[in-house]
Amino acid sequence: MAVEKILVIDDEPFIRKTFEEVLRGKRYGVSSASSIAEAERLMKREQFDVVFVDVRLPDGEGMSILERVSKGSTPPLAIMMSGFGTIESAVECMRAGAFDYLTKPFSISQIEVLVKKAESYRQMLQVNEYLSAELAGAKDLVGASEEINRLRDMLRKVAPTEATVLIQGENGTGKELVALSLYHSSTRSHLPYIRVNCAALSENLMESEFFGHEKGAFTGAMERREGRFELANGGTLLLDEISEISPRLQAKLLRVLQEKEFERVGGVKTIQVDVRVLATTNRDLRKAVEKGDFREDLYYRLNVFPVSVPPLRERTGDIRVLAEYFLARFAKQYNRSDLHLSPECHAALDAHRWPGNVRELQNAVERAVIMSEPGAPLISSALGLPGIQTLAVPVSLKVNEETESASSINGHGSGPLGDSRVSLAALEKEHILRVLSACADNRTRAADALQISIRTLRNKLHEYRLAKDE
């Protein structure tokens, strides 16, 4: 609960008693003090969420509490109480940081309303804190490849400027993360960061999402609403998937980027904003311009500083690092500190093409963590990558075919596997034994990974043993 403990500081016993009765009935913890000195003592001992304080107390001004109160990391909200003749001092207290004030005499419902208000406010602060922590959480680009290092270098240079950055890259490569990390290293990092997904809404809704609307601007516009550009004022706005906006909106967007002003939908007042714009796209905007789908002038406005995030298959050096990073993250999340990626898993990860890029890798690792059994290493089949379950058979066959074609070209038959005439049975045996060892000799899991029944596996192993015995 956002408000649990309330302190009432007033020298009139009747007031203290009223608060106690009203608030205890609502299950708040209530303490009361009749002087500043007594309040100080209580506040040393306990943490209060809301403090009702009379502006005049026997041993001093209620306002002195404000200073004391504003020190902690989550200071209580102070609500000043004043008699008719002292409203001015209550106003002064508001200036000094009080949350609100009550004029005596007041009704019980006024107390209740104020406590509710304090509660919503504190809850909002908590949510805000939580969201900021989340934003701050995963802002680092993980990766060790030359490509990602080059990207980090570029970001470091452009982040502290005011330049508009156009982030291009395939799905799931980390464009949003790049935008977030730009924001965090910018000079606007303590100001709002607002994101708008340009692909999410219809043209009309999108326009009001961007620029807001006035009450009655269209059916359903019951109230005035500020758009994302206004919300981001002073801070940073991420236009996610910018290629998706309609020609009409492109024109409007061009104006904001050029003139830094716009009108709300249905409004006449021109609103000025100061916003740093970041944009992402997974379509090639240059091509979209050539095809006539995207305005050229807008393209140049956005493409001040282009950044491209390479697909994962072009920076394979990041696969392992990212896999380990996601494993650590999900192992923690799912309480599975025992997990590690076997060489077999790494081989499977390295072999995959990652059409869904980092997001696909992240999902694969999460899936594997969920699928894995306690005490056993992660097995590649748990990653759920297409073609992994029967990894070596088709791969080996492919090697075999390649070897054969190589041999027909250069005339001799030795390839990566040593011999182009390796039989399917030998390949199968090699693969089965490898998977079994990756599964720490757990037959159930190995059978699962191989997508064969445990009985078939047992029979195969039996055969191999017989062969060895012979």
CB of 242 to Mg ion, least distance (A): 11
Q: How far apart are CA 450 and CA 439, in angstroms?
A: 11
Q: Is 244 in the site for Mg ion (CB under 5 A)?
A: no
- Per CB under 6 A, contacts with ligand ATP among 346-365 are 358-359, 362
And the tokens for 65? 């509490």
* 459 contacts 452 by C-beta, under 8 angstroms: no
Compute the radius of gyration of the chain from its Cα atoms: 33
The b/e string for 78-116 (b: 16+ C-beta within 10 A; e otherwise) is bbbbbeeebeebbeebeeeebbbbbeeeeeeeebeebbe
Element (H, E) at 99: none
Q: Does 321 bind ligand ATP (CB under 6 A)?
A: no
Give the span between the Cα atoms of 464 and 461, in whole angstroms: 5
**420 contact, one of Mg ion, ligand ATP, none, CB 5-8 Å limit per kind:** none
> Least CB distance from residue 158 to ligand ATP, whole Å?
17
Q: Is 318 in the site for Mg ion (CB under 5 A)?
A: no
Phi/psi of residue 165, nearest 5 degrees: -115, 130
* One residue of 37, 108, 136, 138 binding ligand ATP per CB under 6 A: 138
Question: Residue 191 carries which DSSP code?
Answer: S
By CB under 6 A, which span of 167-175, 255-263, 286-294, 415-423 interacts with ligand ATP?
Answer: 167-175
Q: Shortest gap between Cβ of 324 and ligand ATP (angstroms)?
A: 11
Q: Which residue has the tokens 């390839």?
A: 415
When asked if residue 34 is in the footprint of ligand ATP (CB under 6 A), the reply is: no
Interior angle at CA 184, CA 179 and CA 186, nearest 5: 90
156 neighbors 185 (Cβ within 8 angstroms): yes
Q: Which does 138 bind (CB under 5 to 8 A by kind): Mg ion, ligand ATP, none?
A: ligand ATP
Q: How open is the CA angle 130-136-141, to the nearest 5 degrees?
A: 145
Task: Of 132, 53, 142, 131, give the one whose Cα is nearest residue 89.
Answer: 53
Residue choice 8, 66, 76, 143 for contact with ligand ATP (CB under 6 A):
143
**Which range in 65-73, 175-183, 215-223, 295-303 contacts Mg ion by CB under 5 A?**
175-183
Q: Which is nearer to Mg ion, 32 or 362 (CB)?
A: 362
| 135 contacts ligand ATP (rule: CB under 6 A) | no
Number of shown-chain residues binding ligand ATP (CB under 6 A): 17
Residue 360 interacts with Mg ion (CB under 5 A)?
no
**400 near ligand ATP, rule: CB under 6 A:** no
Q: In terms of CB distance, is 176 or 448 closer to ligand ATP?
A: 176
Given the rule CB under 6 A, which residues bind ligand ATP? 138, 141-143, 169, 171-177, 280, 282, 358-359, 362
